[in-house]
Amino acid sequence: MASHFPDASFKDWNSWKWQLSHRVKNFDEFQRIFDLSPDLKETFLKASEGFPPALTPYYAALSQFNENLKKTVIPGFEELREDLFETLDPLEDKKYSPVTGLIHKYPNRVLLLMGTNCAVFCRYCTRKEFIRENKEILKPSFWKSVKNHLTQNPLIDEIILSGGDPLFMEDRILKGLMEKIESLEQIKIIRISSKIPVVLPQRITRSLLKTLKTRIPLYLNIHINHPAELSSDFKKAAEDLVRAGVVLSSQTVLLKGVNDDIKHLLPLMKGLLQSKIRPYALFQCDLAPGTAHFRTPVKKGLELLREIQAELGGMASPHFIADPKGGKVILAPQNIIRDNDQGVFLKSGKGTEVFYPN
């Protein structure tokens, strides 16, 4: 990889700011690193219009020779296919957003969309549309509106920071936000969802670790999909986070042709536990536009989960979860009412019947 960045020193490579400022973003750069055929250019550019590509040099090095990881970062023709069930807002964020950037879908918790930046853009991203809209969320009025909403809803005791990637923010901004959250008596837990430890482990600096030392419990849910992502840099970042008192858990998206087999999921779940990261969620790929080629039938996911449980036991077995309209459903046999060739009918958390396509 160094040959693709001949001017990078060891210090540069280990600097998260250098990594971010040298992200691979256009066809020529992708072509150079992944040896893409010039014939792919037109499709690459069309798919990029729907959702821009970007990856850190670190993650480019990790995925350069891994066919499965490449599928998750290189725009391809499959993304141009339209699927009947896909929608721009698969999680119904707009419906549940009383304040721009705040999603209130469940009684006790709200999710704050911290921005539209990520270190790497995943081709299967659920919030493609939100990221593409590139809205400025962190305006001075944002916190005031969030605070008002929280005060009016005393049942809320947990804030989830998501996005975009919350760890993309500068420490100073993140620290200010943490202090504001901690100043609210009603908030007892902070949760952060981030892929940054996987795609930019250099971001886990001493200064960030200090920022993450909060008075109330902080859970970091790491988005990780493949055992190849359990690099030594990642493990060191996870170790540093654990030492700083952050509770680590994982979320994995089940992706066809990437990780939908036991030979990938077993070492991933085992490796996570060994790095003190509790496997928490295995997500069915959401119904975002251009993602049908990533979706695995729910029944296959259930079979994979059964195998994980049989091989590794409960500690290494995540919940298998889908997020259809109306809210999350744990995909377990008791929540599957019936199925057909098109998909499954699920019992939602509210007791209603919802369809989820294969």
| Closer residue to ligand SF4, CB minimum distance, 118 or 287 | 118
Considering the complex, what minimum distance in angstroms separates the CB of residue 315 from ligand SF4? 26
208 forms part of the interface with ligand SF4 (CB under 6 A): no
226 forms part of the interface with ligand SF4 (CB under 6 A): no
| Closer residue to ligand SF4, CB minimum distance, 58 or 344 | 58
Using an 8 Å Cβ cutoff, are 120 and 54 in contact?
yes
Q: Nearest-CA neighbor of 167 among 208, 130, 113?
A: 208
Considering the complex, what minimum distance in angstroms separates the CB of residue 196 from ligand SF4? 8
Strands ordered across the beta sheet of 319-322:
102-106, 109-113, 158-162, 189-194, 218-223, 247-254, 278-284, 319-322, 329-330
Considering the complex, what minimum distance in angstroms separates the CB of residue 154 from ligand SF4? 30
Contacts 24+ apart (CB under 8 A), 256-260: 256/285, 256/293, 256/294, 256/295, 256/296, 257/68, 257/71, 257/293, 257/294, 258/68, 258/69, 258/71, 258/72, 258/225, 258/226, 258/294, 259/68, 259/225, 259/226, 260/296, 260/300, 260/301, 260/304
Q: Please report how the helices 298-312 and 262-274 are oriented relative to each other, as an axis angle in degrees rounded to 10.
A: 50
166 forms part of the interface with ligand SF4 (CB under 6 A): no
| Closer residue to ligand SF4, CB minimum distance, 122 or 354 | 122
Considering the complex, what minimum distance in angstroms separates the CB of residue 148 from ligand SF4? 26
At which residue do the structure tokens 């019947």 appear? 353
Considering the complex, what minimum distance in angstroms separates the CB of residue 318 from ligand SF4? 17
**Which of 53, 75, 101, 163 is the binder for ligand SF4 (CB under 6 A)?**
163
103 forms part of the interface with ligand SF4 (CB under 6 A): no
16 forms part of the interface with ligand SF4 (CB under 6 A): no
343 forms part of the interface with ligand SF4 (CB under 6 A): no
Q: DSSP letters of 144-190?
A: HHHHHHHHH-TT--EEEEESS-GGGS-HHHHHHHHHHHHT-TT--EE
264 forms part of the interface with ligand SF4 (CB under 6 A): no
In eight-state DSSP terms, residue 351 is S
| Closer residue to ligand SF4, CB minimum distance, 59 or 150 | 59
Distance from C-alpha of 330 to C-alpha of 281, rounded to nearest angstrom? 9
**Which of 60, 62, 118, 190 is the binder for ligand SF4 (CB under 6 A)?**
118
**Which of 79, 93, 165, 260 is the binder for ligand SF4 (CB under 6 A)?**
165
125 forms part of the interface with ligand SF4 (CB under 6 A): yes
Using an 8 Å Cβ cutoff, are 62 and 229 in contact?
yes
Q: Which two tokens stand for residue 28?
A: 């020529």
In eight-state DSSP terms, residue 24 is B
146 forms part of the interface with ligand SF4 (CB under 6 A): no
Distance from C-alpha of 198 to C-alpha of 63, rounded to nearest angstrom? 12
234 forms part of the interface with ligand SF4 (CB under 6 A): no
| Closer residue to ligand SF4, CB minimum distance, 162 or 211 | 162
Site string for ligand SF4, 182-201 (x = CB under 6 A): -------------x------
71 forms part of the interface with ligand SF4 (CB under 6 A): no
164 forms part of the interface with ligand SF4 (CB under 6 A): yes
| Closer residue to ligand SF4, CB minimum distance, 75 or 344 | 75
Distance from C-alpha of 268 to C-alpha of 250, rounded to nearest angstrom? 10
Please work out the total of residues on this chain that contact ligand SF4, with binding judged by CB under 6 A. 10
Considering the complex, what minimum distance in angstroms separates the CB of residue 166 from ligand SF4? 10
Give the binding site for ligand SF4 (CB under 6 A): 118, 121-122, 125, 127, 163-165, 195, 223
